[in-house]
Chains A and B, each alone.
Chain A
Amino acid sequence: MNRRYALFAILPMLLSAGDSPSGRSARIAALEETFLAPCCYSEPISRHRSEVALQMKAEIARWVDEGKTDREIIDTYKQRYGARVLVEPEGSQWWWMHVVPWAVLLLGLAFTVRLMRRMSARNGLPQAAGAADIPSDQGWDV
């Protein structure tokens, strides 16, 4: 019974963790890792040292304080700079990036293994009837 009361006491704290200063910082840090600096699309804005990265960091901090959700912030930047601004692509592009290469690799491996097995099995088969015997000591004329 006491455990249940403890859970009820902890739940609001857990739910408001995002509003705490550390929760805010963690959220801002995570969002800064979400976007590439649109000046060169080479680094997340958290690490990039450019004017546009600074301005985006300031915007993100302000939007978090204003209560914008992560989704709203992501959509705003996607609208402004295109989907390319995201470090991790969304939707079907995510599958193309993370799943398709592995699937193709596995299929290739399976195909190779099967091919090798078939080749080794064929080499181990007895010679077909009627085929001319080549004496083992007879070499090829070059």
Chain B
Amino acid sequence: MKRFLFLTGLVVAGLALGQSSDTQAPIAGSPKVEVKGKIEKIWISRGQGMPSLQVRTGDKTVSVALGSMRYLMEQDFNPKAGDEVAVTGYKLNDGVVAITVTLPATGKVLRLRDEAGRPVWMGGRRGGPMNRPPK
């Protein structure tokens, strides 16, 4: 009887974990947008939180949140001010949370989030290293 209960518990826990891996991140509920323009400023420094780009598009500047500094370094993502950039992302207030960032000059495409809005640099069920694209 105890063994049966233990096995049932294991199955239920497994199902619960499996289900939670399919859940969407809250950001995925925000509208998707595309931003094309020139990088005006890059906010990348250790210990200063999530790096971001200031992208000049037309007559306005949009802030684009990227992802973990460590992940950007792993992916060898090294944008320069003045570079052209194309970003797809989720609109959040006045800014954009990047899903992919493309640097046409170098052909570099950086994927930061999966289809459910989960960051690809996060471990475990929230994105996981297994979701990471190859360098």
Q: Which residues of A contact B (CB under 8 A)?
A: 25, 28, 48-51, 54-59, 61-62
Nearest-neighbour CB distance to chain B for A13, whole angstroms, equals: 25
Band of interface residues on B: 10 to 19
Q: Is the CB of A49 within 8 A of B48?
A: yes
Q: How far is the CA of A138 from the CA of B122 in the complex (A)?
A: 84
CB distance from A36 to the nearest CB of B (A): 14
Give the Cβ gap from B70 to chain A, nearest Cβ, in Å.
Answer: 12
Q: Does B25 contact A (CB under 8 A)?
A: yes
Given contacts A54-B27, A55-B26, A55-B27, contact A61 B50 (CB under 8 A): no
CA distance A46 to B117 in the complex (A): 20
Sampled A-B contacts (17; CB under 8 Å): A28-B93, A48-B49, A49-B50, A50-B49, A50-B50, A51-B67, A51-B68, A51-B122, A54-B50, A54-B65, A54-B97, A56-B26, A57-B92, A57-B93, A58-B27, A58-B92, A58-B97
Known: A49-B48, A51-B68, A58-B97. 8 other contacts (CB 8 A): A49-B43, A54-B50, A54-B92, A58-B26, A58-B92, A61-B30, A62-B26, A62-B30
Q: Which of B56-81 contact A (CB under 8 A)?
A: 65, 67-68
Q: Which residue of A lies closest to B48 (CB)?
A: A49
Complex CA gap A57/B68 in Å reads 18
Nearest neighbor of A43 in chain B, beta-carbon distance: B49
Specify which of A51, A57, A58, A61 is in contact with B119 (CB 8 Å cutoff): A51
Neighbouring B residues of A25 by C-beta, 8 Å: 93
B59: shortest Cβ distance to chain A, in Å? 20
Residue of B27, B30, B92 with most chain A CB atoms under a 10 A cut-off: B27
Would A58 and B30 count as touching, CB distance under 8 A? yes
Q: Is B54 an interface residue (CB 8 A)?
A: no
